[in-house]
Amino acid sequence: MKNINKTVLSGVQPTGGLHIGNYLGAIKNFVSMQTEYECFFCVVDLHAITVKQDPKLLKNNTYEVVATYLASGIDPVKSVIFNQSNVSSHSELAWIFNCITRMGWLNRMTQFKDKAGKDKENASSGLFIYPNLMAADILLYKATHVPVGDDQKQHLELTRDIAQKFNREYECDGFFPIPEPIIDKNISRIMSLKNGELKMSKSDPSDYSRISLIDSADQIEKKIKKAKTADTTMPDNNEDVSKLLEVNNLLNIFSGFSGIEKVELIEKYKGQNFSNFKNNLTEVIIEHIKPISKEIEKLMGDKSYLNQIISSGAEKASEKANVTIKEVYDIIGLVRNEA
């Protein structure tokens, strides 16, 4: 039985090549939350276009995220799967939040600094105000819980600030709930297989830094074989493991997929070199990823089914979003044409 006072919203950008970081850090949690919470999962295509996208690829990547949601176990009967640009009130509420958020708040966003890099002057203004659109995604559904990876924590804090400022300034205490991030401690930041100091990312130039959800068994095996470990054997305690960033990361991935506690894994592999550990890790990843990648492939061949999901999702999402945007217009004194 779902608790309607507990609403989840989360999103993934259709920028191609979803990897095991996206899966363990976010999508796996989406699946487990859908029985208890009212859930909205969107493909955030409007976020994707804050950097230039090839239109054909963008379309394909959008279908691929929908297929990944379904293949990972999101049930379109229990959850609403939709495409952000199909529900126009996301953009409307984002504009209103552009007028609420202070420049100082946005100036502190580290992800803008990372993504804009040295050439800040040339970044799109959309990239700068991106967190306001993310806040709109969440608050439009009055979401109370937001499952995300650790890299989205700061954007969630900003969303909370926006909700509080709106409620306070317009004297509508409790109108927007203050959403809680759901961040799983060990798997919320899966790191690159080549460098334990860098996050696993779609944009890393090396394909060997990540495992994509559609990698073949051979590719997974090669990538794990090449993954950096350490010149020592597996330590016998968590404290020493934490100092070996790449080993720690592989243990987190192993634990994330298998459900076996990290301490148990350390106990099993302590004192050994990493080849046995890597073989077992490869098996565990393939066992979990294979059914997902097979299903993604199958679904990508059935665009009419995916279109059906997108269309019914937009309808269901709009129902809730339209109520909120109407209330917001009324609260801030915008007159809507109701004729």
Q: Which residues are catalytic?
A: 115, 199, 202
Judged by beta carbon, residue 176 or residue 235, the one nearer ligand TYM is: 176
Per-position DSSP letters for 19-30, written without gaps between them: BHHHIIIIIHHH
Question: Under the rule (CB under 6 A), what is the footprint of ligand TYM?
Answer: 9-13, 21-22, 25-26, 44, 47, 134, 137-138, 146, 148-149, 151-152, 188-190, 199-200
CB of 36 to ligand TYM, least distance (A): 18
Of the candidates 13, 20, 27, which has an alpha carbon nearest to the alpha carbon of residue 58?
13
Q: Give 136 or 244: the residue with its C-beta nearer to ligand TYM.
A: 136
Closer CB to ligand TYM, 200 or 235, in the complex: 200
Residue 54 CB, shortest distance to ligand TYM, in Å, is 17
What tokens appear for 229 in the block? 């470990």
Kindly state the smallest distance separating residue 146's Cβ from ligand TYM, in Å.
5
How far is the C-alpha of 287 from the C-alpha of 285, rounded, in Å? 5
CB nearer to ligand TYM: give 158 or 244: 158
What is the tally of helices (H) and strands (E) in the chain? 15, 5
- Contact in structure between 45 and 62 (CB atoms under 8 Å): yes
Cβ at position 331, least distance to ligand TYM in Å: 22
CA 309 to chain centre: 20
Residue number of the CB atom closest to ligand TYM: 25
* Dihedral over Cα of 83, 155, 285, 80: its sign: negative
Region for 120 from its dihedrals, namely left if φ exceeds 0, alpha if ψ lies in -120 to 50, beta otherwise: alpha
